[in-house]
Structure 1
Amino acid sequence: MSPEIIGVIGFGALLLLIFLRVPVGIAMLSVGFVGTASLNSPATALNFMTGQTFSISTLYSLSVLPLFILMGNIASKAGLSRDLYDAAYALVGHLKGGLASATIVGCAGFAALSGSSIASAVTMGQVAYPEMRRRAYSDRLSTGVIAAGGTLGILLPPSTGFVLYAILTEQSIGRLFMAGILPGLLLTALFVVTVTLIVLFNPAAGGDMAEEDTRSRRAALAGALPVLSIIIITIGGIYLGIFTPVEAAGVGATLALVMALLRRQLQWTGFVDAVKGTLETTGLCFLILIGAMVFSPFVSLSGLPKLLSETILGYSTSPYIVLGLILVLYLFLGMVIEGLSLMVITLPIVFPVVIGLGFDPIWFGVIMVLVLEMGLISPPVGVNCFVVKSVAPDVPLSEIFRGIMPFWLAMILCILLLVAVPGIALMLPNAMF
């Protein structure tokens, strides 16, 4: 049996295990071990498994994960996300459809604290949905903006997706964080424009307008300054070269904890829950990475990257047509496979092809993460849509999926802009230090 056929069988077994709800890390670890043993030897497979487990567990740069996750969890438990929403509401809440736009801006702000799309959707959903419902916003718009706004969590730094991509492709975490800022702000702006267009053509969807209160607006904006200062210090410190990403994560987690204690908004039980959630999420990420590092040698030994490259280039030699085929493939796979899992499964095959075509690895990381975001709101899986369903249980899931479609189109437009103008993603990382 040829190595390529063994590789295809391995991928089929991996997908089967995932559909049987075996944890992705365990599935990749198992298939990688068995595949390497069949293509080389059991001793080699065992060496890969033990060596990669140790190297990932002791990798200093991965310290950024638990620290940034802890920062986001503390901010959520201490109610700091409410300050971000109130500030966004103060800016645009008095406009038609302003609550929906405020939810988008609030999700963007919280994404810069948590780095988690699901956490952003849950937190902002709990804060924003009752208010939008009270002001008679349509269910389609109110749930759509929460699901779509939550996807900003994986693009704006600190992003778990960027950390995993950096480790798997040996790229700079700091440069990837910087590369995500302008595309993240661009996508936020496109979402706000989408809300504006929706309420322009369907005014009833925008509900009742809020009364403008200058004094309360100023108070809300002032209340968000401490939270914004955490974001500016951590991300600005990385950009200016003051902190490494790991140091910035430590500073951010410390500032979030100090701020929560000074404002007496963090109870002991909340702190314990934040630490517990951090440990669970970190353990999951490490398991996925260990599985990916054991799975990658099997992919290389099978020769699938070379086979895929030759097959794709057989259809077209144009780099952009090949890129388009890869992105369309990701778009369809993202509808049935969770985004981060899809990344670690496919990167060992896709990344060599993309680099061989001459594309910048940092730029492709942004494009890939953005396409994975689309999977978070794409049926039939659409994880963020199911998260919003838990916040708004009386809204039919079909209505939520209809609500995200305008924002899904906005994400397509964002990808096209990034492909047409790569400098949007590369300007800040190229200007670092």
Structure 2
Amino acid sequence: MTPIAAGLIGIAILFVLLILRTPVAFAMLSVGFFGYWALEGARSAGGVLLTESYSAVANYNLIVVPMFVLLGNIASAAGFSRGLYDAAFAWVGAFRGGLASASVLGCAVFAAVSGSSVATAVTLGKVALPEMKRLGYAPSLATGSIAAGGTLGFLIPPSTGFVLYAILTEESIGRLFMAGILPGLLLTVLFMGAIWLVSLRDPAAGPRGAHVPLPQKLRTLGEAGPLLAVIAISIGGIYLGVFTPVEASGIGAALTILLALVRRRLSWDGFKEAALSTLSTSAMLYTIVIGANVLNPFFAITRIPATLGEGLGALGLGAYGTLLVIILAYVVLGMFMDGLSMLVITVPVVYPVIIALGFDPIWFGVIAVIVIEMGMITPPVGLNVFVVRGVAGDVPLTTVFRGVFPFLAAMILALLLIIAFPGIALFLPDTMFG
């Protein structure tokens, strides 16, 4: 059997395992180990399993994951998400669809402490959906705004997607975090624009909220201020070179715990639940990284990435034509796979192609994450849609999917803008450390 044939069989088996709902980490681990065994023998496969597993968990940069996950879990347990939502509503609630726009703003800010799309959607959904239902918002707009807003947790730093991309490609986590800020803000504005357009077309779908006096706006901003300060210290410190992403994650988690204790919002049970949730999430992500590290050597010896690059080059599509093919492949995969699975399986294959085409790997990381975000709200899988459906309770799944279509259009527009103007993603990374 030729290495390429073995690689294609391995990819087919991997997808079969995923269809059978095998956890992605163990699917990658099995295919990588047994595939390497088939080509290089049991002794070599055992060596790869041991060395790659150890190097994966011993990676110092991975500490970012549990620390930022803990930060988000503590913020959620302490109820800080309510303060973020109230502040956002006070400032934009009087506009058309103001409550939905406030939800998106709250998701954007909470994304900067959670790093998780699902956690962002669940946390803000529990706060915002009952309010929008009470004020008579159309169920499609209410659920669609939360499902789409939740995807910002995968783009706005600290993003677990960027951490995994950095580990898989050996790029800088700090530069990737900075690259996600302006695209994240752009997407937030475009989401709010989509809400305004939907409310303009159907005023009953997103009625205006009550006007909030300036003193009350400032009070809500003051309530959310300490958590905003934690975000500014963590992300700003990385940008200015004051500390590394790992140090920023530890400082952010410590400050959030201190803030929760000072405000007396964190009980022992709440802390214990946040810590256990952090352990569970971190164990899952570490296992995924181990599986990816074992799968990558198998892909390398099969020459699948090199062959893919040669095949795409032979099509004569040019750099941007090839990029379009890769993006379309991501879109199709996103309809059937969750974001983390798609990221860890595809990046080792397409990354060499992107480098060969001369594209900036940091810029492509942003492109990949946005396309994966689209997969989080597209049928039939649409993980965020199912999550929001679970929080909303009585809203049909078809209604939620219908509600996300304007936000998908906003994502496509953001994607086109970042492709046309790479500086949107690269400006902050290129100016890091002054």
Shorter-chain TM-score tier: over 0.9
Residue 39 of structure 2 is aligned to residue 9 of structure 1: no
By how many angstroms is 1:20 displaced?
A: 1.1
Question: By how many angstroms is 1:96 displaced?
Answer: 2.0
Partner of 1:190: 190
Residue type matched to 1:218 in 2? L
SS of match in other structure, 1:377: coil
Matched to 2:48, the amino acid is F
Matches of 1:208 and 1:377, distance apart in 2: 26
Contact conserved, 2:91 with 2:212, CA < 8 A, in 1?
no
Give distance in 2, aligned partners of 1:209 and 1:223.
20
- Verify: 1:252 aligned to 2:252, yes or no: yes
Specify the alignment match of 1:329 in structure 2. Answer: 329
Indicate conservation of the 8 Å contact 2:93/2:208, yes or no: no
Map Cα deviations across residues 227-267 of structure 1 (whole Å, 9 max, x no partner).
10000000000000001000000000000000000011111
| 1:22 to 2:22 alignment | yes
- SS at structure 1 position matched to 2:30: helix
**What amino acid is the match of 1:188?**
T
What is the CA–CA distance in structure 2 between the aligned matches of 1:227 and 1:156, rounded to whole Å? Answer: 16
**Aligned-residue offset at 1:208:** 5.0
Read off the aligned partner of 1:74 and give its amino acid letter.
I
Secondary structure, aligned partner of 1:316: coil
Q: Does 1:308 align with 2:313?
A: no
Counterpart of 2:267?
267
Q: Which runs of 5+ in 2 are unaligned?
A: none
Q: Determine if contact 1:138/1:207 at 8 Å carries over to the other structure.
A: no
**Residue pairs, 1:45-124, within 5 angstroms:** 45-124=45-124
Q: Structure 1: which amino acid aligns with 2:71?
A: M
| CA distance in structure 2 between the partners assigned to 1:212 and 1:287 by the alignment | 48
Q: How many Å apart are 1:304 and its aligned residue?
A: 0.8
Q: State the Cα deviation string for residues 379-414 of structure 1 (Å, max 9, x = none).
A: 000000000001111111001000000000100000
User: What residue number does 2:127 align with?
Assistant: 127
Q: Contact 1:148–1:377 (CA<8 Å) still a contact in 2?
A: yes
Contact 1:135 1:208 in 2 (8 A): no
TM-score normalized with structure 2 length: 0.99
Q: Are residue 177 (structure 1) and residue 165 (structure 2) matched?
A: no
What is the CA–CA distance in structure 1 between the aligned matches of 2:93 and 2:121, rounded to whole Å?
Answer: 19
1:341-352, aligned counterparts within 5 Å? 341-352=341-352
Corresponding position of 1:357: 357
| Cα deviation 1:336-391 (Å, max 9, x = unaligned) | 01111111111111100111000000000010011100010010000000000011
Q: Secondary structure at the match of 1:224?
A: helix
Q: Which residue of 2 aligns with 1:154?
A: 154
Question: Equivalents in 2 of 1:117, 1:340: separation in Å?
Answer: 11
What is the CA-CA distance between 1:2 and the residue it aligns to? 1.4
The letter of the residue matching 2:89 is Y
The answer as to whether partners of 1:95 and 1:210 remain within 8 angstroms in 2 is no
Deviations 1:100-120 (A, max 9, x none): 100000000000010100000
Residues 182-201 of structure 1 show CA distances to partners (whole Å, capped at 9, x for unaligned) of 00000000001111111111
- Give yes or no for the alignment of 1:279 onto 2:279: yes
Residues 61 and 246, structure 2, Cα contact 8 Å, conserved in 1 = yes
SS of the aligned residue for 2:156 comes to coil
What's the counterpart of residue 225 of structure 1?
A: 225
2:238 aligns with 238
Q: In structure 1, what is the Cα distance between the partners aligned to 2:356 and 2:214?
A: 56
Which amino acid is 2:301 matched to? Answer: L
What residue number does 1:414 align with?
414
The residue type paired with residue 230 of structure 2 is I
Shift of 1:417: 0.4
- Contact 2:29/2:295 (CA < 8 Å) preserved in 1? yes
Residue 254 of structure 1 aligns to a residue in which SS? helix
Runs of 4+ in 1 over 6 A off after TM superposition: none
* Distance in 1 (alpha carbons) for counterparts of 2:287 and 2:362: 24
User: Greater shift after overlay, 22-31 or 200-209?
Assistant: 200-209
The SS at the match of 1:12 is helix
Letter in 1 for 2:28: M
- 2:204 counterpart SS class: helix
- Percent of residue pairs identical: 55
In structure 1, distance between residues paired with 2:328 and 2:86: 38
Does the 8 A contact of 1:179 with 1:426 survive in 2?
Answer: yes
SS in 1 for 2:180: helix
Summarize deviations over 1:173-229 as a string: whole Å, max 9, x none.
Answer: 000000000000000000011111111111110135324343332211110110100
User: How far apart, CA to CA, are the structure 2 residues paired with 1:273 and 1:326?
Assistant: 40
The TM-score with structure 1 as length reference comes to 0.99
